[in-house]
Structure 1
Amino acid sequence: MSLLDGILKNIGGAPDDIANLAAKVGLDPKLVEKAVATLGQTHQMEGDTVELAAEKTGLDTGVLGKIVEQIGGEGSLTEFANAIKNDPKSIMGILDKDGDGNPLNDLAGMAKGLFGKK
C-alpha cells in the first residue's frame, strides 16, 4: 500500500485507494498517483492548487478538479500536503520514476501518453 493509499483510506467519502480513484475519474492509476502527489505539493504553494498542478503535470484543470472533488475537496489536500512535508522522499519516488531528480519529465511523459502523443 502506498503512502497515498493510506491517506485516502482515512478520508471519509474518498475512494479507498488510488486504483479506485483512478477508476472514478477514468485515468491510469499511475497518472492519478502522480496527480495527487502533485496536488499535495502545489497545495502548499501560493496560488491556485489546481492551476499550479496543471502546469506541472500537463493535465487539464478539469481532470485535476475531478480528482480534488473525489478526494474530498481542497481541505483533504492538507493531509496530502502534510504527508509530503513530513516525508518528501516518499513522494519524490512517486513523482520521479526514472530517478533523474526531475519529476517534471515523468509527469509530462505520462500526460502525453494520456492524450495519445509520444
Structure 2
Amino acid sequence: MAQEPRREDGGEPQDDCLFCKIVAGQIPATLVRETDTVVAFRDINPQAPTHILVIPKLHYPDAASLAAAEPGVLADVLREAGEVAGEEKLDSYRIVFNTGSGAGQTVFHAHAHLLGGRGLQWPPG
C-alpha cells in the first residue's frame, strides 16, 4: 500500500505520482475534458457505467489540502465534474473525494470520482 504523503507536499509535480505523470502526458489516459487547471479521464477500474476522475493539474495530496491552498482550483474540479456529467448525459450522479488510505484513497493526488449511469445506494459501502 502506498505511503500517505506529508501535508506540505503540494503544488509542484511529484516524480512518483501517477496522476502527475498523466497530467504531464507521460502516461496515457482516456481524456474526456481538459482545462488550464483540470484534467478529466476515464477510470481504468470503473465502479459504475460512468466513472471519470477529475483531477487538478497541481499536485496536492487530498481535497482538503487543495482547498486550503488553492480553493479556486478545487472549485474548478467541481465545476468541471458537473460539465462532464452534462456531457455524459447523466441525470443523477455522485462526486466523491476519498481522503486517506482508510477511506480507499490509493493515489495521493487530490481527485474527484464522478460516478453515474446506475443507481447509487446510500449509505455508500
TM, length-normalised to structure 1: 0.31
Larger radius of gyration: 2
Q: Which has the higher helix share?
A: 1
Q: Which has the higher strand share?
A: 2
TM, length-normalised to structure 2: 0.30
